[in-house]
Structure 1
Amino acid sequence: MGLSEDTKPKSDAYEGEEMVEATGLRQRNKSNGANGETEDNPLSVEQVFESKPVPSWREQLTFRAFVVAFFLAVLFSIIVMKLNLTTGIIPSLNVSAGLLGFFFVRMWTVGLEKWGFLKQPFTRQENTVIQTAVVAAYGLAFSGGFGSYMFGMSSRIAKQATEADDPSDIKDPKLSWMIGFMFCVSFIGLFALVPLRKIMIVDYKLIYPSGTATAYLINGFHTPEGAKLAKKQVKILGKFFAGSFVWGFFQWFYTGGDGCGFSSFPTLGLKAYANKFYFDFSPTYVGVGMICPYIVNVSVLLGGIISYGLMWPLINNKKGEWYPANLSKSSLHGLQGYKVFISIAMILGDGMYNFVKVFSHTLFAIYKAYKNKSGLPITDSDGRVVPAETISFDDKKRTELFLKDQIPKKFALGGYICVAIISIITLPHIFKPLKWYYILVAYLLAPVLAFCNAYGCGLTDWSLASTYGKLAIFTIGAWAGKGDGGVLAGLAACGVMMSIVSTAADLMQDFKTGYMTLASPRSMFVSQVIGTAMGCVIAPCVFWLFYKAFNDLGLSGSDYPAPYAIVYRNMAILGVDGFGSLPHNCLKLCYGFFFAAILINLIRDFTPKNISRYIPLPMAMAIPFYIGPYFAIDMCVGSLILFIWEKINKVQADQFGPAVASGMICGDGLWTLPQSILSLAKVNPPICMKFLSRKDNIKVDDFISSW
């Protein structure tokens, strides 16, 4: 599950799903009794599928797979873009992609089979291809920086930063250069680690928990019992999808003005509403709360209470003493500066700690394997260490097929060099301050950093792509210097570095999924390339739709504040300017929260698990410091729904909870598309529903009656 823009600890969220799928498959095997299977000796996953032939890598790449992948990529890109521009909390939609991919192709094949036109049955390998292409495409709506570094280059964000607003540090969004930039930087990560896939997947047996969990889901869908469960899950998803879409449409009628509609309902009182504590009736955030681990939702709420409940009211009382009283709300020299820079300090503290932790863990594991002159301990599907001589039937068959379709090393090296040359020539024309030698240095270092990120992701399921991107912001920004487009150069370099290391880790996750579903590495690579090409066009177009439809996009207090855009721009400003422009005592508070984030992480790692699971996550706490805690209320409502459901029927909650949440997220997310079209067509909602205090209502009534 995605936690935030920075680091995404998926393993906690997937653990339950993974165990449910694995246990469910074993239970189905025990009840089978065929082919010599007994209750004490159940068939393994690949023994269940042994009677089904594995299609060639070309047969796995079907036209229908990419048609379905394209439409799902559009849907999920809209959802991810909406979340990216509101809170920055992105849940994993892999389950939804797998479910909907299964459902739509199954409908396709059932229809053709009924009329006698079906030539190729639907396989788990084809399902894996769809899921890979969809995730590669919608992933660019997140890693493309439309809610962070790329939008942070715009004049709209620069005006809020009130620093570095020189034209050389600004580049406003345009569809042409955004698509060109995406094509330049999004493919090179695919070539960086292809030669190391055998080492990562076969030799070191890295788990890649998210890739493993996705494989369990797909394998489960394509067993007879799994197909029945998947159909039920999709039916539930469809019901909540429709309900969420209709609810979004209904709410729209009451939003005919600023602060109107159900999203402005002061559910906890007007005073709490003024401090952004309210339930805004958003199916998206309720669904996100059902998917994210409980500790994430509680951490976000705790961060909102500390910031908007305590700190900001206290600092606001220092107006005129700590900062001038006549500043605008958006000025970073006032209260807004404390909000932005303290949240940056927590993000950097948490990111730096996890970078050091994962990086050192990776280096130690590599050193240990080299010293012992052997690979890492081999593990089975449940993560248990097994002796090499007892490698299972499943692992033997998976390894055999995984090594069958080789991707030539010369092809990978040549692809990396060609794409790097194109980028080095092209990017300086898109971003004038980004010199060709900055890009060359980034591409020389990128394979090593991509390896570290992919290796660490395989061990811990943490991708630190944004941390590497922040390092690029500070190093390239400082190298370019103030007054010479250093801010723009740093933000562009962030995109270059972040795209490489993120794509490399995602590709290895997909290789792990393909390894466990017997999908060919070649089909995985091709589907990743096609999905990435889709995303390079779809993601900028979806962002452009938001940008043109909502004139207040990126403004603080709007429906789409894009919180990380101002955060990233201010990181770049810090990189070239230093700390001299911060408000009074802001730097001291930043130091305090930076080290507090590190200390909290240390406590989490060095206390027993039964205690540490109740310790909040600093990264999640940092998000409401800037945008407020209103979405945390919704997420906690989602957690409460899931908690009660689990108490009533845990098996049912585990099976259908993700489908309910996905339906709510998808339906509300899809409503954004017609809402944007209505906005572009200048069709405004007919009603404004506002909430006033009794005293204000009397004043309004008196004013109206005096006319």
Structure 2
Amino acid sequence: MSIQSALIGFLISQTLRTSLTPQEIVVVQTTAVATGTMPLAAGFVGILPALALLSEEKDGTPPIHLSWLAAVGWSCSIAYFGVFLSPPIRKQVIIEEELPFPSGTATAQLINVLHELPPPDTTIRRRRGYQEVDTEADDREDEVAEVPVRADEHDEGEREVLEHGWHSLVWSFIVSAFVSLSAYFFPVLFAIPIFGGYLAKQWLWYFTPSLSYIGQGIIMGFPTTVSMNLGMVVGWAVLSPLSKYSGWAPGPVGDMSNGARGWILWTSLGIMCADSLVSLLPVVAEYAVDLVNTQRRIYLGANVDDRTEDKETETEERLVPVSWVISGLLASIIIGTILVWVVFGNEGIKPWATVLGFILGGLLSIIGVRALGETDLSPVSALGKVSQLFFAWVQPGNVVANIIAGGVTEAGALQAGDLMQDLKTGHLCHASPRAQFYGQMIGSSVSILVTATAFTLYNRAYEIPGPSFPAPTAYVWLSLARLLRDGHLPEKSAVFMAAFAGVFAVLAMVKVYAVRRELWFAKWIPSGVAFAIGFLNTPSFSIARLVGGVMEYIYRTRYAKDRQDIRLIVIASGFVLGEGVISIVGLALQLFGVGVASCWGCGHGLCGGGCPAAT
């Protein structure tokens, strides 16, 4: 949400007549992203629901449901590790290697557009003037040094940006909120059986016209949404009926244990792992080559430190001190290990295994950040699977330990990657890395309480995983943990896993080659991760996002004035925010026992908790 956070921060600051500099907007959006990262980093949408799905009969341990206090403790255990990883990784991937980080660069471009400034210079060697910051100036002058000042003639343009921006954002917010609230009282609005009642009830083919999903599709872009829908067609229109009629998945189609949805999950997992791992191979190879070359230069007497220092564009007082990084990493590992032990107990995971999880997370985060910097796709799902494979060997037979340790590893990689995009934005806009570090710490701290509280309230109002919140990644975590424990796969699923993994390994190699050579067709090669997500989610999720992707393509090719036209992004942000805010209202209504107004049309039983079996 970097772009949306920067946009809304700018609009609010202009409305309050406290014009913030580009550097201050960077700190605002950095804090917002750090706050929003916690639900994913702490596994509230995957790991914790997976622990709630445990079965004493299958796994030897009853389901684990965390109380509010335990959720706070778990969040604290992983909240800061990725933050302290960020400063040293920043120097390598942003200063040394100059990786593009497309989303971070796009956010910097948006901030400059909003402030009527020229696009940021994305090459480090032409930004040497930043080293000449006057260290004797006060903090405010230091913050804005070397940044072009807006001329008076830009005031009218800025007012136009503000007026049109607010107009588009407010109306899209209102429309999305109205649609979402209407769907609460009339659930069939988000479960429209456009393909007929039989396909909706028996095969889960229905349409959810969520403006939030459409907004996400706009932000994701047309190629990604096409990949997702190709996966949806293959998974739900081909493999799902094939597995059902062949007797490989005899249960109800939506059942994750013995139904078609659980069966195609394994093919999805094979695609994700193959695509992500193949995409990572060039990154790992380059890292190994760079490491060997660095060691050789050291052996031959070359001064590597001077070369690195010469590329740094910030003064010492604006950087995060090395002593902070070292002490912070040690403290976060020690305190995190103790908190994990307190929350889950010695039977859940051994303390030494948690320490290994943090160490592995630090190593994998370097790989994940570099992949994100080059492709704008974070392979944290594959990194999580790598950690599960590792802990299946370290603590064999322990499903709980496998999930928790994998979660610790994934949290560091995910958090470091998300925050690195913001550091790239700050680098291009000349924001202080230390100020961004403060923002990351504040955002992560606030999010601990917000996320734990929200998760607890949603668990009281809804079944998670359940019809309203299916949490598909929870089944991925649990299924892989069980597979690594007993090696049992659903009938014939291994054949399809291997076949699809092979196909997408080849496609990933072609895509990596095309991207590095900047060939025009690179973006049209299907993304394996997006294709696999089309398997994980029911068709309603993918179709709505395709609508957004088509809107983005049409607008960009026919109506956008130039590449800096942000009108559609503003509308998409309003769509996402409107449904997100109104969902809190829906949560309150659910907690206070306010039911739906009508269950008409919900005979297919797919209308969520309000009308689970209405006729």
Q: Distance in 2 between matches of 1:202 and 1:660?
A: 34
Correspondence 1:573 to 2:498:
no
**Residue deviations 1:551-574 (CA, integer Å, cap 9, x gap):** 3x313xx12111111111111111
* Secondary structure, counterpart of 2:282 in structure 1: helix
- Structure 1 unaligned residues grouped into runs of 5+: 1-92, 111-120, 256-260, 379-387, 389-395, 694-703
Whether contact under 8 Å (2:368, 2:379) holds in the other structure is: yes
Correspondence 1:338 to 2:263:
yes
**Paired residue for 1:437?**
352
Alignment of 1:12-161 (within 5 A): 93-109=1-17, 122-154=20-52, 157-158=53-54
Q: Distance in 1 between matches of 2:92 and 2:536?
A: 42
Give the superposition deviation at 1:370.
6.4
Alignment of 1:397-476 (within 5 A): 401-432=314-345, 433-476=348-391
Alignment of 1:652-663 (within 5 A): 654-663=565-574
**Paired residue for 1:167?**
61
Alignment of 1:586-597 (within 5 A): 586-597=493-504
**Paired residue for 2:140?**
none
| Higher mean displacement: 613-622 or 488-497 | 613-622
**Paired residue for 1:239?**
171
Q: Distance in 2 between matches of 1:374 and 1:306?
A: 55
Give the superposition deviation at 1:692.
7.0
**Paired residue for 2:225?**
297
- The percent of aligned pairs where both chains have the same amino acid is 24
Distance 1:445 1:616, change over 3 A: closer
**Residue deviations 1:118-171 (CA, integer Å, cap 9, x gap):** xxx5222221111000000101122221111222111xx235xx9734226x42
**Residue deviations 1:34-73 (CA, integer Å, cap 9, x gap):** xxxxxxxxxxxxxxxxxxxxxxxxxxxxxxxxxxxxxxxx
**Paired residue for 1:501?**
413
Q: Distance in 1 between matches of 2:251 and 2:168?
A: 53
- Structure 2 unaligned residues grouped into runs of 5+: 117-153, 605-614
Q: Distance in 1 between matches of 2:15 and 2:27?
A: 17
Q: Distance in 2 between matches of 1:663 and 1:335?
A: 36
Whether contact under 8 Å (1:453, 1:463) holds in the other structure is: yes
* Secondary structure, counterpart of 2:318 in structure 1: coil
**Paired residue for 1:268?**
195
* Secondary structure, counterpart of 2:601 in structure 1: coil
1:529 to 441, 461, 466: 441
Distance 1:171 1:441, change over 3 A: same
| Higher mean displacement: 205-214 or 616-625 | 205-214
**Paired residue for 2:536?**
626
Superposition TM-score, scaled by structure 1 size: 0.72
* Secondary structure, counterpart of 2:50 in structure 1: helix
Q: Distance in 1 between matches of 2:73 and 2:284?
A: 32
* Secondary structure, counterpart of 2:273 in structure 1: helix
Residue identity matched to 1:412: V
Q: Distance in 2 between matches of 1:307 and 1:425?
A: 42
Whether contact under 8 Å (1:150, 1:491) holds in the other structure is: no
Correspondence 1:677 to 2:588:
yes
Correspondence 1:487 to 2:399:
yes
Distance 1:689 1:182, change over 3 A: same
* Secondary structure, counterpart of 2:579 in structure 1: helix
Q: Distance in 2 between matches of 1:566 and 1:531?
A: 29
**Residue deviations 1:86-131 (CA, integer Å, cap 9, x gap):** xxxxxxx211111111111222235xxxxxxxxxx52222211110
1:638 to 531, 548, 552: 548
**Paired residue for 2:70?**
177
Q: Distance in 2 between matches of 1:123 and 1:100?
A: 14
* Secondary structure, counterpart of 2:257 in structure 1: coil
Whether contact under 8 Å (2:70, 2:343) holds in the other structure is: yes
| Higher mean displacement: 420-429 or 662-671 | 420-429
Residue identity matched to 1:605: V
**Residue deviations 1:422-453 (CA, integer Å, cap 9, x gap):** 12223222122211111222334444333333
Q: Distance in 2 between matches of 1:286 and 1:487?
A: 37
* Secondary structure, counterpart of 2:45 in structure 1: coil
Whether contact under 8 Å (2:227, 2:530) holds in the other structure is: yes
Distance 1:297 1:462, change over 3 A: closer
Give the superposition deviation at 1:237.
1.2
Q: Distance in 1 between matches of 2:414 and 2:503?
A: 27
**Paired residue for 2:143?**
none
**Paired residue for 2:95?**
202
Q: What is the aligned-residue RMSD (CA, Å)? A: 3.0
Residue identity matched to 1:611: F
**Residue deviations 1:616-637 (CA, integer Å, cap 9, x gap):** 2221121232332222221222
Compare CA radii of gyration and give the structure with the larger one.
1
Whether contact under 8 Å (2:251, 2:260) holds in the other structure is: no
Q: Distance in 1 between matches of 2:205 and 2:574?
A: 26
**Residue deviations 1:639-693 (CA, integer Å, cap 9, x gap):** 2223333344222794211111111111112111111111111110121221779
**Paired residue for 1:40?**
none
Q: Distance in 2 between matches of 1:459 and 1:633?
A: 28
Give the superposition deviation at 1:526.
0.6
Distance 1:207 1:301, change over 3 A: closer
**Paired residue for 1:191?**
84
Give the superposition deviation at 1:531.
0.6
Give the superposition deviation at 1:488.
0.9
Q: Distance in 1 between matches of 2:559 and 2:365?
A: 42
**Paired residue for 1:667?**
578
Q: Distance in 2 between matches of 1:476 and 1:587?
A: 22
Give the superposition deviation at 1:360.
2.2
Superposition TM-score, scaled by structure 2 size: 0.83
**Residue deviations 1:374-398 (CA, integer Å, cap 9, x gap):** 989x9xxxxxxxxx9xxxxxxx9x9
**Paired residue for 2:211?**
283
**Paired residue for 2:509?**
602
Q: Distance in 2 between matches of 1:658 and 1:163?
A: 49
Q: Distance in 2 between matches of 1:506 and 1:304?
A: 27
Residue identity matched to 2:330: I
Correspondence 1:559 to 2:468:
yes
Whether contact under 8 Å (2:3, 2:106) holds in the other structure is: no
Give the superposition deviation at 1:273.
3.1
**Paired residue for 2:279?**
354
- Report how many aligned residue pairs link the two structures: 554
Whether contact under 8 Å (1:220, 1:227) holds in the other structure is: no
Q: Distance in 2 between matches of 1:101 and 1:213?
A: 16
Give the superposition deviation at 1:368.
5.4
Q: Distance in 1 between matches of 2:85 and 2:218?
A: 36
Residue identity matched to 2:588: I
| Higher mean displacement: 242-251 or 270-279 | 270-279
Distance 1:647 1:546, change over 3 A: same
